[in-house]
Amino acid sequence: MNVNVMKMFWGTAVLLLLAGCGKKTEVPNRNATTALPEYPAMVVDIQNAVLESVYPATVRGKEDIEIRPRIDGFIDAIYIDEGSAVRKGQSLFKINSPQAEQALTTAKAAVNSAEAQVNTARLNVDRIKPLADKGIVSQVQLETYQNAYTSALATKEQAEASLVNAQATLSWTNVTSPVDGVVGTIPYRQGSLVNNQNVLTTVANTSNVFAYFSLNEKALSEFLNTLEGSTQAEKIKKAPEVTLILADGTAYPEKGKIETITGTINVTTGTANFRAEFPNKQGILRSGTSGKIRIPRTLDNIILIPQKATFAQQDKVLVYKVQGDSVMQKTISVIPLPDGKRYAVTDGLNRGDRIVTDGVATLTQGKKIKVNE
């Protein structure tokens, strides 16, 4: 073999041997463990919270009166305008009723005729009585004239009653406001033919207003059970003040008070009607407007948790409770809070329990985790 070739062979072998000696073989550590996933958690505690239940409501004036004519006729004059404030007894409309005027004229004539008959009958009695006393005419004839006089008096009284009635009927041509309030829509104008079936306008007394709303049977029972008192009347007196939310979403500045709850449940809707009264000195609220009633409810010594700490399973709400280094599913009863982010827990958790607060969708029953509080 060529000496040069041998030198190259041995040189290459030495290099390969040196390269192999420089490598280190890694041996797996059998004592190493896989790192546990971390989840945020919290220790629950008791505190106080305020719940607010919201219900649709309709606002009405304390006195919301439909104004109708009491006689048939044409509208002769309109003394007010829509939205104007009126006082009790103020004239609103003038009705032109020829029938009423004719009835008054006829009644006056009847009274005059009856008075003439009374005068005639009285003259006859005055004329016959001296003759009867002297025996010139019989007592029967005197009594006949006296009866005629009595009948004439009765006829006059009837005529006078008809006159009073005709005068009252004619007074109805002047339509007045029965209450202080604000005028609503006026659908009929001057010259319109109207009768007692037509609503000329409405007058709403809105110095105070009523807000009407309804609760179903379950909500009604829950509401009454939170109030002190042995009777419904006593419970209503203890009811908290309520807030009216206007159509634009703002809260009416004045608080209201629940005044009445209907004694029966509407069989069609399954609800009981409530009425709350609100002061309206500034005239902000108008009859017929809509809004929402917000009823506060204070919960004492209750546990609050974030909604994202829960998950739903069928019709149940559950959380993952931390036990050691693993988690267990726990069914709870909750009430949503108005902020839409938290639950008030009424059953299922105790003070000092630790629950996972986020990432519950990736957990399973018995999964081992690391708690990050």
pLDDT at position 277 is: 95
Query: Residue 13: pLDDT above 70?
Result: no
| Cα 297 to chain centroid, rounded | 17
Q: Please spell the DSSP secondary structure of 269-293, one letter per residue.
A: T-EEEEEEEEE-TT----TT-EEEE
Compute the distance between CA of residue 49 and CA of residue 299 in angstroms, rounded to an integer.
5
CA atoms within 13 A on the CB side of 85: 7
pLDDT > 50? residue 99: yes
Domains and CATH numbers, the chain: 39-51+300-372 (2.40.420.20), 54-61+208-299 (2.40.30.170), 69-91+175-199 (no CATH), 98-171 (1.10.287.470)
In single-letter form, the type of residue at position 155 comes to T
Query: Does the pLDDT at position 81 exceed 90?
Result: yes
pLDDT computed for residue 226 by the predictor: 83
pLDDT band at 19 (very low <50, low <70, confident <90, very high): low
Give per-residue pLDDT as tens, 338-350: 778 999 998 999 9
- Return d(Cα 213, Cα 260) in angstroms, integer: 11
Q: pLDDT by residue (tens digit) across 172-209?
A: 999 999 998 899 999 999 999 999 999 999 998 888 99
- pLDDT-based confidence at residue 6 (cuts at 50, 70, 90): low
Q: CA 262, CA 307: separation in Å to the nearest integer?
A: 36
217 by Cβ neighbours in 10 Å (0-12 / 13-18 / 19+) ranks as exposed
The yes-or-no verdict on residue 118 having pLDDT over 80 is yes
Strand partners, 327: 322
pTM: 0.63
Arithmetic mean of pLDDT over the chain: 87
Q: In this structure, are strands 370-372 and 38-43 parallel, antiparallel, or unpaired?
A: parallel
Among the residue ranges 1-10, 99-108, 273-282, the one predicted with the least confidence is: 1-10
Q: List, for residues 277-322, the tens digit of each pLDDT value.
A: 999 988 888 888 999 999 998 888 899 999 999 999 988 999 999 9
Average pLDDT over residues 129-148: 86
pLDDT at 22 over 70: no
What is the mean pLDDT of the segment spanning 136-156?
89
Report whether pLDDT(15) > 80: no
Q: Give residue 31's pLDDT band: very low, low, confident or very high (50, 70, 90).
A: very low
User: By percentage, how much of the chain surpasses pLDDT 70?
Assistant: 91
